[in-house]
Amino acid sequence: MRRSIPRWGLITLGAVVVLGIAAFIPYRLMLTDDLAGKYNSAPSQELLRSAAASIVTGEPVIFTEKEINAYAAYHLEDIQNALSKAEFQPNQMYLTFPEEDTVTAYTPVTWRGKNLGVTSQSRVVYDAANGRLNIEVLQVRLGRLSVSPKFALNRLFAKELPSGVTREDNRITVDIKPYLESEKAVYSGFSLKQFQVRKNGVLFQASSTLSEKGGKIKEQLKDWLGETFTGDPGDLDDLAGQLQDYLKKSGIGRKNA
């Protein structure tokens, strides 16, 4: 003889099933990465050459999306060893600039053996007066699942913030003044004039005593770039290439040992 399940038992069983489905759906949404394999950038340091050209001439340049993503691929490849013990291990970073002051990032990460496609949109503004990069995270998605920026940042910075980085809710501040006031920057007369997100790229303008006219430039270049610099710059590409080496020696784009 079959025994009927009590009414309260049916209700409990139904609740368990509903909760199970409710938990499963977000999990599946989180693990579904519609952008997987869509973006591929070959690692390159060409962005440093563009930066060097600006420093040499004092003229503004536009870093294109292609240059930025190629350099991001290079830099991420460079720091993989340092990230090997991180809870979230980024496998890629691809940036787009849909409009002024707006950055969209696609960063697939490995988390507890699972691959998550993380996308975000942020407002990014450089505060030249205070030497700070202000980032306001507006949207975050884990796969197809939308989460609050505050929740995502709590997970990302669960242990501690990197040096020079502060955070309040969904706002992040990166203090670059220590670099701008470093001994090397002061010695070279380096000054960051503009750093502004534009549609499809970033406007960059910097200057140094390299931008000034006069005989002093030859001796300074010898000090900065070594004796391989003869004092005859030739064309801008040659000079920018040598300055790129200087930037790498100064810690920008340098490979880890």
- Whether residue 206 is predicted with pLDDT greater than 60 in this model: the reply is yes
Q: What percent of the chain has pLDDT over 70?
A: 68
Q: Please give the pLDDT value at position 170.
A: 94
Q: Where are the domains of the chain?
A: 46-249
Contact 133, 124 (CB under 8 A): yes
Confidence band for 68, pLDDT divided at 50, 70 and 90: very high
Q: Please give the pLDDT value at position 58.
A: 82
Q: DSSP string of 107-151? A: EEEEETTEEEEEEEEEEEEEETTTTEEEEEEEEEEETTEEE-HHH
Question: Which pLDDT tens digit goes with each residue over 110-148?
Answer: 877 788 889 999 999 999 999 999 999 999 998 888 889
Distance CA 28, CA 31 (A): 5
- Whether residue 14 is predicted with pLDDT greater than 50 in this model: the reply is no
DSSP code of 89? E
DSSP code of 238? H
Distance CA 38, CA 246 (A): 35
Confidence band for 13, pLDDT divided at 50, 70 and 90: very low
Q: What's the rounded mean pLDDT across residues 162-173?
A: 91
Q: Which of 54-63, 74-83, 226-235 has the lowest mean pLDDT?
A: 226-235
Kindly report whether the global pTM for this prediction surpasses the value 0.75.
Answer: no
